[in-house]
Structure 1
Amino acid sequence: MKTSVLFVCLGNICRSPMAEAIFRHLVEEKGLTDAFDIDSAGTGDWHIGEAPHAGTAQILAQYQIPAKGMFSRQLKQEDYSRFDYIVCMDDSNIQNALPMLGVKASSKVFRLLDLVEEKKDVPDPYFTGDFEETYQLCLAGCKALLEKIDADKNK
């Protein structure tokens, strides 16, 4: 049975597709592609059907991480039962996602950086313009997420 991971941000063009691509790349490097179902979504509907932001695409290309075939979609209630891990980029994403998922609280919905020492939100480069910072934070969080999933499977 596959482990399913959904990354969530506001518009699904910057942070969550970046985390999706990075996590997919890490999983691929470990030869675990067939063991995972990985996706991303946004809580907002402004960018549905759009490819990742140019800044996201550029930073991923710089680190040789493919983002081909990725398009924005909005989070939906069915995602709650479909995914084992619903990983949000910031607290407001969690607050927006929970009612959309039809739950008040859930241990499978958490912030990406809750898994690293420096627990904080992943800043939105759509507003900050700092795609490098977002990349580095997503990379650290995705590595920690892969470790968490491995540890959870071995419980």
Structure 2
Amino acid sequence: MSQIKVLFVCMGNICRSPTAEGVFISLLKDKGSSDKFLVDSAGTHAYHVGEPPDARAQQTAKQRGVDLSFIRARKFRYEDFEHFDYILAMDQDNLDILKQACPIEYQHKVRLFLDYAEGRDETDVPDPYYGGQNGFNHVFDLVTDAAEGFYQKVLK
């Protein structure tokens, strides 16, 4: 069986999508499913290419047992549409950017990540960049719920 390829996407790839990447990798390790998936993250904008995740995102994740230090920001590439099975946007703005650029034959791959978060009314993972620590905690909680829901849905 080939690996399921998952790409998490936000704007700059230093807060939300690397948190989602780290959380999902951690969940896969806990479930013994790391070998079944290839996981990455990217940004729709090239503001932070090559940079590690925001220090606040790393600190929040580390406090909850998730390492983000190995991740480096990159910009979403057109070939990602073909390469990945799931392209999961953190919010409607980034979903719109992806959908607009996406060839028709790959549109089914592009979704909102929070579509998989059971029992959550929110559709967007809010960008915590300009806020305080509570924003990073909230992002972590949202992506943890969505990661679990996504994992369950994909394995069915």
TM-score by length of 2: 0.91
- Following superposition, the deviation at residue 120 of structure 1 comes to 1.3
Relative to structure 1, is the Cα distance of residues 35 and 94 closer, same or farther in structure 2, using a 3 angstrom cutoff? same
Equivalent residue for 2:124, pick from 121, 127, 147: 121
Relative to structure 1, is the Cα distance of residues 78 and 84 closer, same or farther in structure 2, using a 3 angstrom cutoff? same
- Following superposition, the deviation at residue 101 of structure 1 comes to 3.9
**How far, CA to CA, are the matches of 1:72 and 1:103 in structure 2?**
27
Identity among equivalent positions (%) equals 37
Question: Is 1:148 the equivalent of 2:153?
Answer: yes
> What is aligned with 2:67?
66
**How far, CA to CA, are the matches of 1:31 and 1:131 in structure 2?**
27
Moved over 3 A (4+): 99-105
3-state SS in 2 of match to 1:106:
helix
- Following superposition, the deviation at residue 105 of structure 1 comes to 7.0
> What is aligned with 2:32?
31
**Deviation by residue 1:69-92 (Cα, 9 ceiling, x = unmatched):** 210000011101111110000000
- Following superposition, the deviation at residue 46 of structure 1 comes to 0.6
Paired letter, 1:33:
S
2:116–2:146 Cα contact (<8 Å) kept: yes
TM-score by length of 1: 0.92
Gaps of 5+ in 2: none
**How far, CA to CA, are the matches of 1:13 and 1:65 in structure 2?**
15
**Deviation by residue 1:104-149 (Cα, 9 ceiling, x = unmatched):** 9722111111122324100001033310001000100111110111
Relative to structure 1, is the Cα distance of residues 57 and 44 closer, same or farther in structure 2, using a 3 angstrom cutoff? same
Relative to structure 1, is the Cα distance of residues 91 and 105 closer, same or farther in structure 2, using a 3 angstrom cutoff? farther
Q: How does 1:40-55 map to 2 (within 5 A)?
A: 40-55=41-56
Gaps of 5+ in 1: none
Aligned residues: 151
> What is aligned with 2:87?
86
**Deviation by residue 1:34-54 (Cα, 9 ceiling, x = unmatched):** 111000000001100000001
